[in-house]
Structure formats: structure tokens, C-alpha cells
Amino acid sequence: MGFPPLKGYSKIKVQATAPLQEWGVEMTKKLMLIDANSLLYRAFFALPPLENSKGQPTGAVYGLINMLMKLLDQYQVDYAVAAFDLPGPTKRTEEYSLYKANRPPTPFELRSQMQIARDVLRAMGIECIELEGYEADDLVGTMAAKAAREGCFSWIVSGDRDILQVVGESTQVIMTQKGISETTVFDAAKVVEKYSITPSQIIDLKGLMGDSSDNIPGVPGVGEKTATKLITQYGSVAGVYENIDQLKGKLRENLETYKEQAFLSRRLAEIDTQAPLPLAWPPATLKRNDKELYRLFKELEFNTLLQRLSLADYSPVEVDTVSSPQLDEGLFAGPELAVMLLEGAMAVAYKDKPLLLVGEGYAAACQGLEDFLAQQGTIYTDDAKKIYRFALDRETDMQAEVHSCQLAAYLLKPGSNMEIPHLVRAWTELGVEKGETSEQEHLAAHVSLLPQLWQNLKKNLLDNAAWELYQDIELPLSRVLARMERTGIAVDIRELESIGAELEAKIDSLEERIYAAAGTEFNINSPKQLGEVLFDKLGIPPVRKTKTGYSTDAAVLEAIHDSHEVVPLVLEYRQLVKLQGTYIHGLQDLWDKETGRVYTNFNQLVTATGRLSSTEPNLQNIPVRMEEGRRIRRAFIPGGGYQWLLAADYSQIELRVLAHFSGDATLTDAFHKGQDIHRRTAAEIFGLALEDVTDSQRQAAKAVNFGLVYGQTDFGLAQSLGIARKEAASYIDAYFHRYPGVKEYMDQIVAQARKDGYVTTLFNRRRYLPEIGSRNFQRRSFAERTAINTPIQGTAADIIKLAMVEVEKRLDEAGLVSRMLLQVHDELVLETTSEELKRVAKLVVAAMEDIVQLHVPLRVDVKTGPNWYNMESMKD
């Protein structure tokens, strides 16, 4: 999918905000490290001479930037850092004065481009680093090692084979070839395939064979073939000399004569990965300064690159700020309007020019927008939910059609790190250079581009079969969410305080029990002090250490759960402290004294699967697996004029979607018969009659059912059930034997993802999987599990979104006062009256169950009660 360029608009990266960890697999940030000197040298000698009209040589910079633009488009990294050499001695020349002494001086034409390269790289958002006494590859190697320790994946771009020594699980090298026109990506397997040695052995290879380009002497008479054979056989330079007695003739003689030189050569070849980096971690996020880049490219006369980056004829957009209440009569008079609602201000496009309306001008503009919304017309905006909320706040009978550029772009590239040209997805996090303009002026500058941007996005929605998803699900949902956010949910503050007091008493009690079990008092909330108590004082074997001491994160504490009685107490203490801080104190801080309610934000543009998320406060994530967490729901009550909360929950919707996609006969049969699917699965796996299945067998089957929906492996299942991996594998084998259609679906969807590069839901919501063909096993496996899960979880998310729109529509048509308050993934929470309770229950169930026809029936369980905790199932 491509977006045609729009003049004068930046390419802004859409940052993924999906969860970093699913089923124990961490999604890392990505870093590109650039050996700038190596690449500039290669570009200089590979390309014909190029200079601008002022006589300034530019060819090396042009070659470097052209190559990096391609790589940045392809690899979609979060950070990029370029390392440069500085003139002068290095630690290698201090040890061996002839190091690189055979190299001719850098040509003037190349030297004159070094600072230009730095300027252009910085304008591209790439940090530049250099350090006296160290070479660029030392800085690159150190950054790669630092990134690996911080959980960040690195690609190193270089033309120097020496850098291959730092290749590892979290580091790959993009090696330039044929000058800079072609590249080869090296992971550890590729290094072995190409050179018959591991990455770390490249240092030893250079120790024996030397390197004529760097004037590293090596051992005379030992070339690459012999050196490779020796390192393959003995592992290292040290290994060769430990087994020198096994060698004969001239080879042994040379090795003995030049032993000191071999170890010297090895030291010279070894990249220092402990250099004192002149750069904080993490580096700055990759963000272009288009204004500066335009200036530099114009000066260098890189016209092709200007066009490629959609910077042709770029000029800063001037914003007129209007504070007068007297507005031009034509401002809100046309059939179309481009508008952005900002904090206490409004940006409007008028005669293709952005206006920022503030103060009395903003008040007048609000009235103008209200009048526009009440009539037939079309609005182009960044966030439709803001417009719907504006109309609700002013009780406007909205007639105008609204289109959201953010929403359209999200559907085209959900949860992706890939660039979406010409779109600012999160205006307040834009991050490009603003010059002397204010934040609001900077944001307002984009408003005049919205109509053209919308036409571009609409075309791509149509081309990608996503128009119905936008028009029928997501856009109507924005209106529903605006109303839900405005409604909020009532909270009994006294009940919340009571629950908080109970938690505080339990926390105090746990604190005393922890001190007694540990035999000392300490700050339980201090990881350092806790680590010292657990691993030094109590002698528990440590699991993992960090640079600041022992790790005491949740995974570590779970691993040592049975090592000492204090560990489960600490785990419980942490859970209660989190409940107290996040939900008791958090809800108290956000509780509105006038209305008695809290108001969450429903995020529609975040997750890659299409699920909604909730923030400030997060009401979708109240812990319900522990009693103390569930009891917090007691504080959520019907508001004034309402007597009941009603919760309608889809029953096992993801498994029903799996049955629909897979067409598996046994799974489909179970749902049509209304059987307990987990009991039926247990019966199938263990070869039992339904009535003979035990509770523990049903629990195991439940873990298998839900685990496989997420592509869980035997290892993951074994961990979740606390059983041997072999036993978990037998459960999975038995499952697939009894549900062959599910296995066939999983294999087919992964194959389809490899072919297309993406998967889709039932409603054509796409999720791109760029790492489905990765050579890295962990990254590829995660993409395969994602390919299995996304169509299932995403379709379930689409279904409940459709249901929310339908429930809202039916409540309005029926003239009921009952209203939706929350969506918690598969559950809707409403407040209703005693008079409307039964009618609303039937209405909600009908809307949710009939919204889409799958191969198996959808079922909804309804509960009601005086609060969100004390709820009972409703009977027909």
C-alpha cells in the first residue's frame, strides 16, 4: 500500500503502543547503528564525482543518505545512531604505531563532506557520536552491546567485515556490497555459512591472517584458508597455541616465531564494546526535521531526494491567530469544513490557510461549529470522537457527516511502526521542529491539509477493502464512545474508602509477617534491599542480577516462590500495594465530587488487534483473579435515577470465532449443542464421557482451549498448568487429534501470513506481520503466534464494537433512559432502572447475539445487581 505525496507535509511515524509482552515473548525496540566513516568511504569511491553549483563535493553524502533512506524505509527502527572517526591517535595506534599506517590520507573532497554528512544525518533524526581515541566501530559495537542489555534489537550498517564479530541474538549486520548498491544481512547463522566460523571467532581469524587494509600483521604465511581451518579446529588463537604440538613444518615454525604478533593482531582486530559512550540511553526517537532537511537538500541540490521525501516546494506554513469575536461570515458557511479541536482553542482551514482561534475568537468559533454541525455538511478532522463529544456537550442535534483521518490511518496500519506519510496521529507527541511557533500554532498548521489527506486515506481504505470497517464499525463507534466517556460511571466513595482501609490493614499485617519471616526490618518496596535480604541474608540462590544488584521482579519471585516462606508474602504484599495505589488512591483522585462519577478514556487507535483500551483510569484492567481486586468493583454503582447495573458478557466468543474460522466439526457440534466447551474438550482429550470429567481435567482443557487460541506452545502450557513439558505436549497432540480442523486452520493462516505479509479479521481488519519471515526464531515464532491469534481476537473485538453501535441504536429508538457505561473486552456494562431492567436485558441480548451470523451461535450471559460486584444471573 502506498500513499501519494502531498506537498508541504511531513512523514510522521506512528508509534506502536501494543503490549510489549504476550505469552512471555518480549517485543523489543529497534535500533539502526551506522558506521558512517565506512559507508562514506565506500560511497565516495563507488560513485562518480558529484558536486553542487558552488563546487562543493556532495557524492559521498548523496550515496550515504540515499542508501540510509532505503534501509530506514525497510527496517522501520525506533532509533538511529551514526558513529564517526575523529582524526588523531587511537588506543590501537598507541599500542601499534603502524596500525592503518599504509592508508593514504583522506581525500580533501571526502573530508569536506564529513561535516555535511553529520548535519544531514541529524536533520534526519539520526544522532551522531564520536570519541577521541576510539574508532567508529568501537562506538557502534558498544552501542550494540548496550542495546542488547536494554532489550533493544540492533541492525549495524557497515562495509567493514570486522564488525561481524559483534553479531549476536539481538544484533545483525547489514553489510554493503558492490560499493553501496547491494546489502547482505548477517545473523550468526549467515556468518557461519559464509565464513565457516562464528562471529566471535572473526577476531581470532584476524589474529592469525592479519588484515592488510588496516595493516594488522597477523602471522606470515597464514592466509584466510589456513587461519579458518585452524580456528575451526582449535576454536581461537589461544587454542591454536595450546595445541601447537599437533602442528608441523613451516606453519608451526611461523606460529611459534610470531606468537606475540598473533596476539597483538587479535587485540588490534577486537572491537571494544566497553567504550565510554558520549550518548545517553535510550537515544532520541527517530524524528525528522523537515524544515532543516529541506534547507540542506536545497543547498546540496539533492532534488531527487527532495521529491522522494515529499519535501518539494516545502515551506513552513504560516498560521493566523484570531482572538477577536468578530469572525469572517464565510468561515463556517461552506458545505465542507476542516477543523481540529485543541485545548481551549480551535484550528480551522479557511481559504486554504490555517486559522488558530483563541480567547473570544475561540468562543465565537464554538458557536460557528455548533451551527455547522446542526446542518448538512462534511467535516474533516483528526479525531472524530472530539467532534462528537463537542456536539454532546452542547446538546446539538448533529446532522453533519464527520471523517477522522487518524481513524482511517489507524485502520490502514494498526499498531505498526511503519511510516504513514502525511499523518500526525498523536498531535501532542508530534516532535518535529516547531521553530518559533507555539505548540498550538504548530498543530494548527496541519489543519488545511486534512481534506486532501482524507481523500488520500479514503482511496487506500477502498483499495484495502477496509471502507466498510471504517464506515460501519469504527466511525459510528467513535460517537458511542464519546457518549460513554461523557456519561462516566458512578462510584460510591465511602465504599471505596472502606475497601481502602481494609487493604491498608492487610498491607500492615503483611509487612509485620514479612519482617518476622525475614528476621529483619527493611524497605520492602526497595528492590535493592529486598534482594539483599532474599539472596544475601536468607541465602536463596539468585536467579538474575542487573547492573544495580539482584533482580527481584515478579518473574524472579515466582521462580523462587517455594524457596522461603517470605517470598509468597512479598508477592501478596506487592499485589495489595498495587491495588491500593492504582485503584483505591487512583480512583479517589479522579472521582468528580459534583457528579459522584469517574470518567475513563476509551482508546480506539492503540491496539494492533482492534480491541479498545481504557485509561485515566483504566477500568478494563481491575484485577478480578484475586478477591481483593474483585471487591473493588463493589464501589461501582448505578448513578442517580438508576437502580441497577447490568453486565452482558459474550460467552467464550473467541472459541466460537475459532470454530467459525476452522470449521472443525467437533468444536462446532459442541457449540450447537450448548455444551460446556471446556468439559467437552476434556472429554475429547482424555477419552472420557462428559459426566466423568473431573474439575481438574476441565481446568486443564480450559488452559488448552485458550492457550491454543493464542498460539501457545507446549512450553507455555506446561508453565501455566505447572506440569511437565512432555505432558503438556501430549495434551496438545490429543487436542489436535480430536480437533483436526483447528490444526488445519492454524497451519493455513500462518502460511497465508507468510504469503501476504498480513492477516485479516472477518471484517477485513488487517494486521501486518513484517517479521513472519524473520531468520530469528524467536521473532518469527512470535509473528506466527500473532498470525493465529489476531483473526480470532480481532474478529471478537469487531463483533463487540458492532454490538455496541447496535445497542446504542436500539436504546435510542426505544426511547429508554438506560445507557452504556463501560466495555471490558467481551463485556458491556450498563446502568438501568427497575422499570426498564427486563426490557433492556432482552434488548441487549438480542442486539449482541444477532449482530453477526457465525457458523456457531453467539451466546450472551446477563447479570445484574446493585453494584458491579454483587451481581446475579438473570433468568428469562
Q: What is the pLDDT of residues 242-254, one digit of tens each?
A: 999 998 889 999 9
Q: Is the pLDDT of residue 24 over 70?
A: no
- Mean per-residue pLDDT, 767-780: 82
Q: What pLDDT sits at residue 728?
A: 83
- Mean per-residue pLDDT, 369-388: 95
Q: What pLDDT sits at residue 423?
A: 42
Q: What pLDDT sits at residue 429?
A: 29
Res. 4 pLDDT band, cuts 50 70 90: very low
Q: Which of 20-34, 553-567, 657-671, 719-733 has the least mean pLDDT?
A: 20-34
Q: Is the pLDDT of residue 493 over 80?
A: yes
Q: Which of 53-62, 415-424, 688-697 has the least mean pLDDT?
A: 415-424
C-alpha cell at 430: 508530534
Q: Is the pLDDT of residue 692 over 80?
A: yes
pLDDT > 70: what percent of the chain? 92
From the number of C-beta atoms within 10 Å of its C-beta (0-12, 13-18, 19+), residue 93 rates as middle
Q: Is the pLDDT of residue 772 over 70?
A: yes
Res. 11 pLDDT band, cuts 50 70 90: very low
Pick from 403, 371, 399: nearest CA to 386: 403
Cα separation, 486 vs 642, in Å, equals: 17
Res. 876 pLDDT band, cuts 50 70 90: low
Q: What pLDDT sits at residue 21?
A: 32
Q: What pLDDT sits at residue 270?
A: 92
Q: Is the pLDDT of residue 384 over 60?
A: yes
Q: What pLDDT sits at residue 687?
A: 86
Q: What pLDDT sits at residue 530?
A: 92
Q: What pLDDT sits at residue 25?
A: 28
Cα dihedral 432, 436, 437, 439, rounded to 10, equals 60
Res. 313 pLDDT band, cuts 50 70 90: low
pLDDT tens readout for residues 135-153: 999 999 999 999 998 889 9
Pick from 548, 570, 550: nearest CA to 561: 570
Cα separation, 816 vs 812, in Å, equals: 6
Res. 857 pLDDT band, cuts 50 70 90: very high
Q: Which of 558-567, 583-592, 696-705, 736-745 has the least mean pLDDT?
A: 696-705
What string of DSSP letters covers 785-820?
Answer: HHHHHHHHHHHHHHHHHHHHHHHHHHHHHHT---EE
Q: What pLDDT sits at residue 547?
A: 63
What string of DSSP letters covers 295-352?
Answer: HHHHHHT-HHHHHHTT-TT--PPP-EEE--S---TTTTTSSEEEEEEETTEEEEEETT
Q: Which of 300-304, 545-549, 827-831 has the least mean pLDDT?
A: 545-549
Average pLDDT, the chain: 87
Phi, psi of 367 (to 5 degrees): -65, -40
Q: What pLDDT sits at residue 315?
A: 54
Q: What pLDDT sits at residue 312?
A: 55
Contact assessment for residue 380 and residue 338, using Cβ atoms and an 8 Å cutoff = yes
- Mean per-residue pLDDT, 12-16: 27
Q: Is the pLDDT of residue 422 over 80?
A: no
